[in-house]
Amino acid sequence: MAAVPTKPRRRPKLAVWKFSSCDGCQLSLLDCEDELLAVAEAVEIAYFLEATRAEIAGPYDISLVEGSIGTAHDAARIQQIRKQSKVLITIGACATAGGIQALRNFRDVDGFIRAVYARPDYIDTLATSTAIQDHVKVDFELRGCPISKEQLLEVLNAFLNHRRPVVPPMSQCIECKMHGTVCVMVARGTPCLGPVTQAGCGNLCPAHDRGCYGCFGPKETPNVAALTKQFAALGRTDGDIANALRSFNANAEPFRAEAQRRETPPHRVPS
């Protein structure tokens, strides 16, 4: 039988982009110690500043985007990246919800300006820190502060093989049940965001005797108001509750809305 000449398969081009962030999510890719070299064989790393000074021009098959949009320059840059990317995946709480730096979105901006820095004219910033999907179409969002490296490998694997990633949108609460971890809220009265937070961290905080602090952001269809009612029953003030919701995913809509409601209780008409 005559040999059929085969063309060597072109490896998909992977780019990793960074916006306002701590670098922890792209570090999770470098932290895949057992799989890093396999990933580097499966894809062509075309742009990944933290790892290489080599740059290969776009378009890119997959772009991983870390960080939030906090400057006008970055708001323009993400548009260019979207144009060059067939698939755009955001990684981490900064990229999916604006990150911890989005706390500035809720602050009295006048107060900030009064506390002016030595040379404010040197600083270029927007008043807000926003998610990537507030600016461009996003094909998949990977949650977490930081992301889980197992989930990252799953998502890369899925997109490279043209299948849907197995990243369930269920709650952290379900992970506790699956691991047999005793509920810290029921057993000890410790406030826990597990019922409204998406699974994926691997059930970390309750297994370490603390309540979940929501670093994976809101799960699909969370009932945040019902949970915070329980926090109030455990003696937490509205201020405590707003604080608990305002951390790494503060600008994710379900957390943002409930924190705002708790911070400014609705005016009640006396009956």
Partner 1 sequence: MTITETAPSASRTIKVDALARVEGEGALTVRVKNGVIQDVKFRIFEPPRFFEALLVGRPLTDAPDITSRICGICPVAYITGSSQAMEDALGVDVGDGIRRLRRMMYCGEWIESHVLHAYLLHAPDFYGLEDSIQLARQAPGVVERALRLKKLGNRILEVIGGRAVHPVNTRVGGFYKSPDRAAVRGLIEPLKQAVEDSLATVRLFAGLEFPHFEPDYTFVAMHHGTDYPIERGRIVSNRGLDIAIADFEQHFDEEHVAHSNALHGVMKDGSGPYMVGPLARYALNHAQLSPLAREAAAGAGLGPVVRNPYKSIIVRAVEVLYACEEALKLAEDYQELAVPAIDLPFRAGTGTGCTEAPRGICWHRYGVDGAGRITAARIIPPTSQNQKQIEADLRAVVQDNLHLPDDKLKWRCEQTIRNYDPCISCATHFLTLTVERD
Residue 215 engages partner 1 in binding (rule: CB under 8 A): yes
Residue 113 engages partner 1 in binding (rule: CB under 8 A): yes
Choose the binding region for partner 1 from 4-12, 50-58, 157-165, 216-224 (rule: CB under 8 A): 50-58
Burial class (CB in 10 A: 0-12, 13-18, 19+), 217: buried
**CA 142 – CA 146 distance, rounded (Å):** 10
Cβ nearer to partner 1, comparing 21 with 96:
21
The label of the residue with tokens 């405590």 reads 240
In this structure, which amino acid lies at residue 255?
F
Residues 122-151 that bind partner 1 (CB under 8 A): 122-127, 129, 145-146
Binds partner 1 by CB under 8 A, chosen from 103, 160, 183, 232: 103
Q: Could you tell me whether strands 140-142 and 85-91 are parallel, antiparallel, or unpaired per DSSP bridges?
A: parallel
**CA 111 – CA 109 distance, rounded (Å):** 5
Helix axes 238-245, 253-263, angle to 10 degrees: 160
Residue 108 engages partner 1 in binding (rule: CB under 8 A): no
Q: Cβ 102 to partner 1, closest distance in Å?
A: 10
3-state secondary structure of 17: strand
Residue 120 engages partner 1 in binding (rule: CB under 8 A): yes
- The binding site for partner 1 (CB under 8 A) comprises 18-25, 27-28, 30-31, 33-34, 36-37, 40, 45, 49-54, 70-72, 74, 99-101, 103-104, 107, 109, 112-113, 115-127, 129, 145-146, 201, 204-205, 207-210, 213, 215, 243, 247-248
